[in-house]
Every structure is written in structure tokens, then in C-alpha cells.
Structure 1
Amino acid sequence: MTVRTSHFAEMPQWLFDLDNARPISMPPRAPSIIKDHRKRLKERFSTSGAASVPDVELLELVLFRAIPKAEVTVLAEKLMQRFGDFNRVVSAPESRLREVENVCPAVIHELKLIEAAAQRLARAKVMQQHVISSWDAVLDYCHTTMAHRETEQFRVLFLDRKNVLIADEEQARGTVDHVPVYPREIVKRALELNASALILVHNHPSGDPTPSDTDITMTCQIRDAAEALDIVLHDHLIIGKSRELSFQAQGYL
């Protein structure tokens, strides 16, 4: 097919496929362009704050550290397309991250470092705090640690007689729709910690926090086992993608 040179004569040869009359892929950006892009993005983050930076560009800022010189824009876009948003990228299992082209060990290390820092910051706001007066912080912590997991996790928050959080422990991990829980082990651990009350927390990877019949039955079993030893079950929280369900608020307890 012949292309009229009056329109395309001054266009670079690599920009257009003359045999098929269609644009072709852009070549890699020059190092100077990459450097300028990184500088502008860093300056915008520094001057305008995180709110001025969308998820994909925030991810780029993280990837800059893992890949100091090469372009990371395409990789950031691939990760966002695969996992959906910044939180899901950071909390994605390492095995899933390795499936994405150009994700190297340095990238995984940086993402897992960000995840660990976020969880530790959220945890620091609730440990040794009165749970009732810091309930929003408790919910934030639960969402940070569990909302984006791809398999179920079951945690127990152990409280003292003043409802101060004295321990937060993962009891079990399971599959996408099941996690094994043993009421006797939970109560035993509460006695070891001298805890007087419990809050159960687990996530639903489907995103829907509606409890299953199994969830309800298991919660009642734990409540009965705890009450026999004068330990109070305050609540059971199911964490979904964007919201949580409280057994206490919904009348299941």
C-alpha cells in the first residue's frame, strides 16, 4: 500500500509501518527522558503530597527504588492491570508477582517491604490500646493486613480485663473459601496469655463479608468454649474488600 508522502514525509521511519499504513510501537525512551519523568513525579509527590499521585504513579515511585535506571512505567501499568489497585499489588503473593513479566527479586523485595511497613504502622496504633475507644484504628488494621489476601486467614485479638489489646495472633491460614479453626486451641491460647476477652477476625477473599453457615457455627462454638472459662467473645469481624461485617452489630452474637 502506498502512503502519501505529503502527510508523512517528515515523520521518522520507525513511527509508521509503511507496508500496512499503521502506527508501530514506540522505541524505548531515552535515559534523559526517563530521568526527567522521575524528577517531575518525585517533585509532584514532595510538593503536593500523596493525594496528587494516582495509584499507578505511586507504584512507579516504589519501583524507582527497585529498578534505579530503567523505565518502570510499563511495569507499573502491567501490575495495576493484573491486580487492580496499589493495595492489591503490594499485598499480592510473591508467586503471583513472579508471573508478571520483568518483575525481578528486587521489585518483590521492595513491594513486600512496603507491605510490612504498612502493617506495622497500622498495628502500632492498636497494640496496648483500649479497643473500644480505638475501634476505627482496629478496623483499619484489620483491613490493612487482611482485606487484599487471596486466601482466608483467621486472627484472634486477645484483650485484658480493661479491654486493652495485649496480643494479636494469626491462628490459621486456609484456601480461597475455607480456613481450619479449632476452638479449643483458641481458648487454650487465651488462658496462656491471661486474656479476659477475644475478638475474632477473618477475611473473605471473595470480597463479600456475608458470613457462611460454617462461620456462624464456628463462632458459636468458640463463644461457648470461652464462656465456660469466663472469657468473653466481644465480636467476630469478617473483612471484605471494602467493608467489614460485625457479628455483634448484625445480631449473630
Structure 2
Amino acid sequence: MGEDAPHHLGHRERLRERFADGLGAGLHDYELLELFLFNAIPRRDVKPLAKQLIAEFGDLGGVAAAPVDQLEAIRGVSRKVALDLKLLLAISSRMAREGVIGKPVVSSWSALVNYCRTAMQHSRTEEFRVLFLDKKNKLIADEVLSKGTVDHTPVYPREVLKRALAHEASALILVHNHPSGDPTPSGADVTMTKALAEAAKPFDIVLHDHLVIGRETTASFRTLGLL
């Protein structure tokens, strides 16, 4: 590297070497984000930007899950950079899903919860997802059936059952997130879940659980005795 090379180029090489030593184990969130931004922004120091993004959105997951317009509002984040960050979230979610699709939920429960958290914990609005299981309790499909506001998403049992019958599912797991961060089920959550469980019985479809994804923790209706 020549004497006139920008200082940040030397920093990039050192950071890459640190990553190579432990494959990221000893790096801070902002440093991992720096490494990711190196390719998107090749000609300037991205350390301040990485730190600003973490400060603004909380952590790596929050950065990747942030809406494109909010990312673009940060000085130095172009649309290309924003879409690259959304690609990071898509890849993370797809990899987490690969760990559970086609596998019995009993043996892959922690991986299933991890997948749901990866996909939903940073969403700014409520999303209602249904996991469809076959007779061996293997995950055969999952779908986001509705999206709502910061504290409500409409859920219609007939639509859930329609999709379950289309997938020839024998069991369901419901999942939704609470953008407030608190995974405690609401009264409306409990009422809807019980109504759906009853509506599914004539079709021999079992509702195994309803997970509520919070910012830090996940609540299970089954564990809480609500199913």
C-alpha cells in the first residue's frame, strides 16, 4: 500500500484480518456492519456510518429490518446501500428457515423459534404468520397472512383455515409479534386463538401453539397454559 493511500484502507485490511482470525467472534456489531458496508461503499471510511446506524436502530437486526426510507434518511446511505441491508435480512431469514423446513417441530423447536424471531422481532408493525405442519409435525409451509399497525393486525380464522386446507395441513402454529417489545398476550390475542382452535376442530386440524415475539423474549400460549 502506497504512502498516499487513504488511512481507512489500512483500517479495512486490519479489520478484515481480525475477522479472519476468529470469523467475527471478537468483533463488535458496528465492526461486523463495517465489514458488510465495505463492498457497498468502497471509497470512504464507513466506521462512523456503521456506528450511527447501530445507534439509530439498536443492533444489527434492527438495522437490517429498518424500513428503506428510514435507512435512506441517514446521511451516507444511498438506496443501493439500503437495499443491500435489506438483502442481509432476507439472507438471514432464509438461512434460519432452512434449519426448520421439513423437520419435526419437536426436534427443531429452538431453531423454529429462532427463525420466527429472525423474521419478525424487529418489525415496526404487527405481522401474523402461520406455520403449517403435516401429520408428522414437520413444517411444510409458512405464510404471513396479515400485517397491521403498531399494535393491531386483523386475523380472520376462516382465512387461516382456508390456507391450512390448501396446504393439507394437520396442525398449525400461530406466530405474531408485538412491536412494543412486550410479548405478553393481549385479551384479543387469547380470544382469537381460542376461537381459531375451536374452528379448526371439525377439520381435524390441531393448533399446537401461538407464539408472541417480543424484542427480547418470546411468549408461548402452550407454556402459559392458554391452550
In structure 1, what residue type is equivalent to 2:132?
F
Query: In structure 2, how many angstroms separate the alpha carbons of the residues matched to 1:98 and 1:217?
Result: 40
Partner in structure 2 of residue 250 of structure 1: 224
TM-score, length basis structure 1: 0.86
Q: 1:234 aligns with which of 208, 213, 225?
A: 208
* 1:109, distance to aligned residue in structure 2 (A): 2.0
Matched position secondary structure for 1:150: coil
In 1: Cα distance, 2:170 partner to 2:59 partner: 39
| 1:93 positional shift | 1.1
2:144 aligned with 1:170: yes
Q: Measure the CA separation in 1 of the matches of 2:145 and 2:166.
A: 14
Check the 8 A contact 1:65/1:110 in 2, yes or no. no
Distance across 2 between alignment mates of 1:154 and 1:50: 33
Residue 161 of structure 1: which of 130, 135, 140 is its match? 135
Q: CA deviation at 1:113?
A: 1.4
In the TM superposition, residue 80 of structure 1 has moved relative to its aligned partner by 1.1
SS at 2:151's partner residue?
Answer: coil
Amino acid at match of 1:117: I
**CA pair 225-119 structure 1, distance change in 2 beyond 3 A:** same
Give the counterpart of 2:161 among 184, 187, 208: 187
Matched, 1:224 2:198: yes
Whether the 8 Å CA contact 2:103–2:138 is kept in 1: the answer is yes
Instruction: Quote the residue 1:92 is aligned against.
Output: 66
* Matching residue's letter, 2:71: L
Note the alpha carbon deviations across 1:118-171, whole angstroms, 9 max, x for none.
001000010011111110110110110001111111000000111011111110
Query: How far, CA to CA, are the matches of 1:152 and 1:84 in structure 2?
Result: 19
5 Å-filtered alignment, 1:122-137, equals 122-137=96-111
Of 178, 186, 190, the residue aligned with 1:212 is 186
Q: Distance in 2 between matches of 1:55 and 1:151?
A: 24
Q: Partners of 1:173 and 1:213 in 2: how far apart?
A: 19
Query: 1:130 touches 1:163 (CA, 8 Å); kept in 2?
Result: yes
| Matched letter for residue 156 of structure 1 | V
Question: Given residue 224 of structure 2, which amino acid in structure 1 is its aligned partner?
Answer: Q
- Structure-1 residue corresponding to 2:117: 143
Q: 2:75 aligns with which of 101, 111, 115?
A: 101
Alpha-carbon distance in structure 1 between the residues aligned to 2:89 and 2:36: 11
Whether the aligned pair in 1 keeps the contact of 2:68 and 2:79 (CA below 8 Å) is: no
For residues 31 and 154 of structure 1, do their structure 2 counterparts lie closer, same or farther at Cα, with a shift above 3 Å needed? farther
The structural deviation recorded for 1:49 is 2.0
Q: Would you say the 8 A contact 1:147–1:240 is kept in 2?
A: yes
1:17-54 Cα distance to aligned partner (Å, 9 max, x none): xxxxxxxxxxxxx8521100000001100112211110
- Bigger-Rg structure (1/2): 1
Letter in 1 for 2:226: Y
Structure 2's unaligned 5+ residue stretches are: none
Correspondence for 2:50 among 76, 92, 113: 76
Deviation at 1:55, TM superposition (A): 0.3
Whole-angstrom distance in 1 between the partners of 2:45 and 2:147? 37
| Structure 1 gap ranges (5+) | 1-29
- Matched-pair identity in %: 53
State the number of aligned residues.
224
The amino acid across from 1:121 in the alignment is M
Partner secondary structure for residue 133 of structure 1: coil
The Cα shift of 1:184 comes to 0.4
1:49 is matched with which residue: 5, 17, 23? Answer: 23
Query: C-alpha distance in 2, partners of 1:177/1:107?
Result: 30
Letter in 1 for 2:141: A
